[in-house]
Chain A
């Protein structure tokens, strides 16, 4: 029996089964994993590694955390003296390969 890889909830196969189908809920609806949604509801701040606080963000109406580039910047880090320089420094530290010198 199939199950969700994240929350382990038992699921069933759609009948008749076609190649490429995904498991569904017992009532026939699509499984929207609440655990996955909870885990992905908030982006991570690239500078301080903390949570960005997406639900309270001023752009919440225009931004879906699951559809955008996964690292963002939190309100506290945005108020630093020069947030862009801090952002670049953080990227340089976390992804040294990007500071390529050939």
Chain B
């Protein structure tokens, strides 16, 4: 189990640092009544803003409705999500709203969302808590006017060390003072990342001493992952691979498909890759970057002890690469023009219509005239039909 989950604070006293800010927050909840200004928690990531909101809901008995900046980009969305909550409290128990990363929607991506939020913030009928990493943008300035702001600052390294020592004591493990110092200072006040890195450090994976966690490159990372002796060690390697998530998924994908492994393993690993890819797609589509924290947990499904998989980048055969690159482009152009004629999307045409079309051409039911170069591709595709 992740330590950051295991030691997640159960009450306000379990948190560490920002004591005065925490006190102000609890005071605000204790005295809350209709019309009181909503609260804005401002502070860097991993400091406990979301935890504070969750604890408040739990301790004061509210039904937490948690939404993210990506849900509040446009006015229509906000009204759809929040109007039922604000208007009919009896159906939804005693709701409270938590809007996370409210500073996350920038410039052109905001389709009237900020204005709609401000309108709601001006006349609150239920407790509303907002969280942001900073309040320097113009949009935040206008939000700041209608809320009470509580600033949460990064923790001093000494407090971080105090907290970390407590966790290590409870886990019954010891870390030498140099490594402890490194873990504390590298976290830069971010409690969550400090706990994650410490768990990675003590569960077997010994990171290279001269290199920082960030500098473990992709090849070393993938190889260390598959050479790991236990799942805990593999997890540690995954956490230390702090690279672009797309690059991470691609690296595992190309390593897996080019390795000689059993069909069952290949099927299992490709399912995991597909799950990771869907998560990344969802993140990109909705911009809910907080979901990224689940990526490594999914990719951990790719671990198997004593497997022959090693890092490999695009080690596909030249004929296959050539076909993907050149023939693929030509097929795309055929699909694009025919999809338009059939009034369907390119993806629908290529997956459903195109194979039927090839059959029809093969069986001489349809006679289509293509350019010479495209005709060649169509004939190639027909030849591949079994």
Contacts and interface: CB of A to CB of B under 8 A. Distances in A.
B22 A72 contact: no
B61 A102 contact: yes
Nearest to A52: B158
B26 A83 contact: no
Which interface residue of A43, A57, A71, A92 has the most chain B CB atoms within 10 A?
Answer: A71
Contacts, number: 84
Nearest to A92: B13
A67 B153 contact: yes
Interface residues of A, number: 30
Given A70-B20, A73-B159, A83-B162, A100 B11 contact: yes
Given A63-B157, A72-B156, A100-B11, A87 B27 contact: no
Nearest to A99: B13
Interface residues of B, number: 33
B189 interface: yes
Contact of A95 (B22, B152, B153, B163): B22
Given A69-B154, A98-B12, A78 B27 contact: no
A7 interface: no
A73 B160 CA distance: 10
Nearest to A68: B156
Nearest to A96: B23
Nearest to B21: A69
A99 B153 CA distance: 21
B154 A59 contact: no
B19 interface: yes
B4 interface: no
Given A62-B185, A78-B158, A69 B18 contact: yes
A68 B160 CA distance: 11
A87 B159 CA distance: 10
A63 B26 contact: no
Contacts of A100: 11-12, 26, 59
A53 B155 CA distance: 16
Interface in B177-201: 181, 184-185, 189
A26 interface: no
A88 interface: yes
Nearest to B188: A62
Contacts of A73: 158-159, 162
A46 B19 contact: yes
B13 to A, nearest CB: 5
B317 interface: no
Given A97-B23, A100-B12, A84 B162 contact: yes
A91 B11 contact: no
Nearest to A88: B13
Contacts of B153: 67-70
Interface string B306-340: 00000000000000000000000000000000000
B165 A72 contact: no
Contact of A68 (B19, B155, B162): B155
B373 interface: no
A82 B184 CA distance: 19
- With a 10 A CB-CB cut-off, give which of A62, A71, A98 has the most chain B CB atoms: A98
Given A59-B185, A73-B158, 20 more contacts: A52-B158, A57-B158, A58-B181, A62-B185, A67-B154, A68-B155, A68-B156, A69-B17, A69-B152, A69-B154, A69-B155, A71-B19, A73-B162, A84-B169, A88-B13, A91-B19, A94-B19, A95-B22, A98-B23, A102-B61
Ranked nearest first, the 8 interchain pairs of A and B with the lowest CB-CB distance are A59-B157, A69-B17, A84-B166, A98-B12, A68-B156, A95-B23, A62-B185, A72-B156
26 contacts: A46-B19, A58-B181, A59-B184, A62-B157, A63-B157, A68-B155, A69-B17, A69-B19, A69-B155, A69-B159, A71-B17, A71-B19, A72-B156, A72-B159, A73-B158, A78-B162, A84-B166, A84-B169, A91-B13, A91-B19, A95-B19, A98-B12, A98-B19, A98-B22, A100-B11, A100-B12
